[in-house]
Amino acid sequence: MIENPQFHTMPDGHRIAFRHAAGAGPAIVFMPGYMSDMAGGKATALFEWARAEGRECLMFDYSGCGESPGDFADGTLTRWADEAIALIEARVHGGVVLVGSSMGGWLMLLVAEALGSAVKGVVGIAPAPDFTDWGYDETQKGALARGETVYEDNPYGPDPTPTHARFWADGQNRLILDRTIAIDCPLRLLHGQRDADVPWDVSLRLAGALRSDDVQVTLIKDGDHRLSREQDIALLLRTVASLSGA
């Protein structure tokens, strides 16, 4: 059973919903994808596994997502990364293993650079760094640059997926694939080769940009973007366990 969330108050007063399980470290911290939250299948499976194994685990919803109040249109990578860092510093008193899905895989990299040696491992699930650049065509980028919101078909729900100009502009200022990403811990990247949202070669580009030499990319030939099948979840849990000492 997943209990009701707690709330962390940021310096400007906005609140972030989170769930924290005490246990042995390093703490496992999960970062959901775009318009996703800690109630998703991968997050729930990871939290329940961590509690069963006696591992410390921290889950949270970005402001404007899931159980965190706020307007989704105000969200940016910088804002959500700041929330993640604030929660980790307030609730975790040792090392962390960061796990990020899709957009959360971009965020985990920004957070890992900020936290430095406190990060003991990183696991990306179809990580999507720089998707504000490679994920939009020139017409869409022009609209976003003019301050417009772009809507795209959503394969996971009835409503179209919005990209707000503020989010896109912030993303363009946080591009990382064309520089050395200053992370030195072990990193594991899991990517489905049938991913229709994030090309699997993004994980290969990411592996090349990372400063760490301890980087492994696992390609799942029949895996889709979500990697939420039973066998995908099992691979995720084995991967996290291998980096967390479980």
Which residues carry out catalysis?
102, 195, 225
- Cα dihedral value 124, 128, 129, 135, nearest 10: 170
Query: Three-class SS string for 84-143?
Result: HHHHHHHHCCCCEEEEEECHHHHHHHHHHHHHHHHEEEEEEECCCCCHHHHCCCHHHHHH
Residue with tokens 């980096």: 243
Cross-strand pairs, 161: 152
Taking a C-beta distance cutoff of 8 angstroms, is the pair 190, 220 a contact?
yes
Nearest Cα residue to 44 out of 21, 23, 26: 21
Taking a C-beta distance cutoff of 8 angstroms, is the pair 45, 32 a contact?
no
Q: How far apart are CA 24 and CA 74, in angstroms?
A: 35
Residue type, 116: G
